[in-house]
Structure 1
Amino acid sequence: MQLLLSMVLALLTVASSAMAQSPAADVVRDLAPSGMLRAAINFGNGVLAQKGEGGVPRGVSVDLATELARRLGVPVAFVPYEAAGKVFEGAKSGEWDIGFMAIEPVRAAEIAFTAPYVVIEGTYMVRQDSPFRDVDDVDKPGVKIAVGLGSAYDLYLTRTIQHAKILRVKTGGGTAMIEMFVGDHLDVAAGVRQQLDAYAKDHPEMRVMPGHFQEIAQAMGMPRVEGQKRDAGAKYLAAFVEEMKASGFVADALKRSGQVAQVAPPAAK
């Protein structure tokens, strides 16, 4: 009797697992309407994605997209971009099905975001002889800040900077603002801490400020399609992100790709 009960419980566990791995048809239709999951990969943020051997995408966003496609039972196709602003433009033109971007009010009009899965810092880099010691020192008349056009920190600083001048670089990858900062002899470079730290490590004439002006909440998202609610897909994607955080998947993916970032806390219920 005990053996029979154990067998029944095992069968129920397998069935439950199979159901969890086989989402409803409307979920698959919402997330991968073409039968293939097109995942936007932003190489402009080295915390989320990196180019491996032969330019093959790797990193936490790649791992998440691959696992989601596996659960949906569809192949995955990576749609590469060199900057977050270009990912956002791709959403509006229907180039991808899921993406990995920072949550921003401007973007939320076009993208349905999940809760964040990773939180990273936006901060400043200056030259060693700069008088600026704290992030609050930067917003002064005459100060010129280099940013990447359409990045999360560009959108944030556009809302919050009152006196300094923001100069935006329109082309290039995630380090393009550093090149502009150096080449045009600007006062400050704004960016993701990990990228600024990596540059400063190889350029001792630079230093990264210890504080941050923004905590950048990185989330998964679906483009909003006019006339389509796609609630089933959005609900599934939100639950997927929460499971990936709670199970340690996100933390492990960051570790595998050699990145250090804070896994976001569980979403508020």
Structure 2
Amino acid sequence: MKRRNAVLAVLGAMLGCGGEMDPGDGRTSTPRSARYVENAFAPNPQCTMPSTWDPAIGQPSAAALQQLAPTGTLRVAVYYGNQTIGVCTPNPGKGCTPAFDPQFGVLSGTAVDLACRLQAQLKIPLVFTGYPTIAALNVGFAADPWEIGFGYDPDFPTVPGSIVSHPYIGNDNTFLVPADSPFQSIADLDKPGVTIAVQSGNTPNLFMRANFHRPPAGPTLVELVTNSAPNDIFPLVKVGTCNTDLCKAAGYTGLHIDAAAGGRFGESSFVLTTYPAGRVLSPSLVLANLAP
């Protein structure tokens, strides 16, 4: 795993913003690098993002390329339990849970776009591995099947031996509560007797572990291992009780649920489409700065 410590410094430079106008076409903003990478993709239906925003950079040194792809193939892991990072689309109805199966599951999202453009500039083969949960991603890192993984917050490193690069996107997290609940601020939920459902291992979970009071002085965190907060976390607020098979497996059956912690966008969508009696708190719990 030590070789990956230096990989992400190189990756940060490769994915940096910037670029120059293509001198061969003053009408477009396509960087000069696009002239030689446009057709560099290996057959891969996920790599559909154009070169419009590629930075104009030179090829990395042999030493840097050895760090990025020691096997000669760019091996990239994508955590798809957070749609801001990646999405796994099952086909037909399988390939994403309980584990990723590349024969059926199709990965997409910002992590895939960035990896595809990096592969295009490096002009080497690209292989994706998908993970539905943070726990599975961590196990995958230890098993050593990839060098670059999308799904971590540099403020909350979780894997020994890894280093996180510069963030490429921010995801605001807050609380979903019943509309008629008394909770108005973040501090209102950091109280004894409050029970909060959250995806195990994600940024709001790690933030609350680090900054909230522990029971009995603070809230109880119902930490559930899942790849879908809209399916497994947010509905617990609507029902008001931890009553699913996931709750039973984790030992939380019957606990009253006061709130769920998660991404503001996902919570807002859940309220609009599924839970009109729900409310998303205005204050921010934590901004997840997501990075490879």
Q: For the structure 1 residues 120 and 144, does the alpha-carbon distance in structure 2 shift closer, same or farther, using more than 3 Å as the test?
A: same
Q: Secondary structure at the match of 2:83?
A: coil
Aligned length: 209
Tell me the C-alpha RMSD between the 2 structures. Answer: 2.6
2:159 and 2:291 map into 1 onto residues whose CA distance is 11
Q: For the structure 1 residues 179 and 36, does the alpha-carbon distance in structure 2 shift closer, same or farther, using more than 3 Å as the test?
A: farther
Q: For the structure 1 residues 51 and 159, does the alpha-carbon distance in structure 2 shift closer, same or farther, using more than 3 Å as the test?
A: same
The answer on whether the counterparts of 1:142 and 1:164 sit within 8 Å (CA) in structure 2 is yes
The match for 1:26 is 63
The amino acid across from 2:201 in the alignment is G
The runs of 5 or more residues in structure 1 that have no matched partner are: 1-8, 221-269
The match for 2:181 is 130
C-alpha deviation, 1:21, in angstroms: 4.6
Q: For the structure 1 residues 113 and 51, does the alpha-carbon distance in structure 2 shift closer, same or farther, using more than 3 Å as the test?
A: same
Alignment of 1:154-233 (within 5 A): 154-162=205-213, 163-175=218-230, 176-181=232-237, 182=239, 183-184=241-242, 185-202=256-273, 203-220=275-292
Q: For the structure 1 residues 97 and 158, does the alpha-carbon distance in structure 2 shift closer, same or farther, using more than 3 Å as the test?
A: same
C-alpha deviation, 1:219, in angstroms: 0.9
Map Cα deviations across residues 41-89 of structure 1 (whole Å, 9 max, x no partner): 1111111222357442111110001111122221111111112332233
Alignment of 1:225-244 (within 5 A): none
Q: Secondary structure at the match of 2:204?
A: helix
1:188 and 1:105 map into 2 onto residues whose CA distance is 22
If asked which structure has higher relative contact order (CA below 8 Å, sep 6+), I would say 1
The answer on whether the counterparts of 2:156 and 2:203 sit within 8 Å (CA) in structure 1 is no
Alignment of 1:246-261 (within 5 A): none
2:269 and 2:58 map into 1 onto residues whose CA distance is 39
Query: What TM-score do you get using the length of structure 2 for normalisation?
Result: 0.65
The match for 1:57 is 107
Query: What TM-score do you get using the length of structure 1 for normalisation?
Result: 0.70
1:153 and 1:29 map into 2 onto residues whose CA distance is 35
Map Cα deviations across residues 200-254 of structure 1 (whole Å, 9 max, x no partner): 111101111111111111111xxxxxxxxxxxxxxxxxxxxxxxxxxxxxxxxxx
Q: For the structure 1 residues 63 and 24, does the alpha-carbon distance in structure 2 shift closer, same or farther, using more than 3 Å as the test?
A: same
The answer on whether the counterparts of 2:157 and 2:164 sit within 8 Å (CA) in structure 1 is no
Map Cα deviations across residues 62-120 of structure 1 (whole Å, 9 max, x no partner): 00011111222211111111123322332222132111222234426432111111111
1:96 and 1:193 map into 2 onto residues whose CA distance is 30
Q: For the structure 1 residues 71 and 26, does the alpha-carbon distance in structure 2 shift closer, same or farther, using more than 3 Å as the test?
A: same
The amino acid across from 1:92 in the alignment is A
Q: Are positions 1:113 and 2:155 aligned together?
A: no
Map Cα deviations across residues 125-165 of structure 1 (whole Å, 9 max, x no partner): 01112110122211110000111111111111101110111
The answer on whether the counterparts of 1:92 and 1:110 sit within 8 Å (CA) in structure 2 is no
Identity of aligned residues (%): 28
* Greater per-residue strand proportion: 1
Q: 1:85 aligns with which of 135, 150, 153?
A: 135
Q: For the structure 1 residues 52 and 106, does the alpha-carbon distance in structure 2 shift closer, same or farther, using more than 3 Å as the test?
A: closer
Q: Secondary structure at the match of 2:198?
A: strand
Q: Secondary structure at the match of 1:110?
A: coil
Structure 1 segments (4+ residues) deviating >6 Å: none
Q: Secondary structure at the match of 2:121?
A: helix
1:213 and 1:14 map into 2 onto residues whose CA distance is 41
Q: Are positions 1:141 and 2:192 aligned together?
A: yes
The answer on whether the counterparts of 2:168 and 2:289 sit within 8 Å (CA) in structure 1 is yes
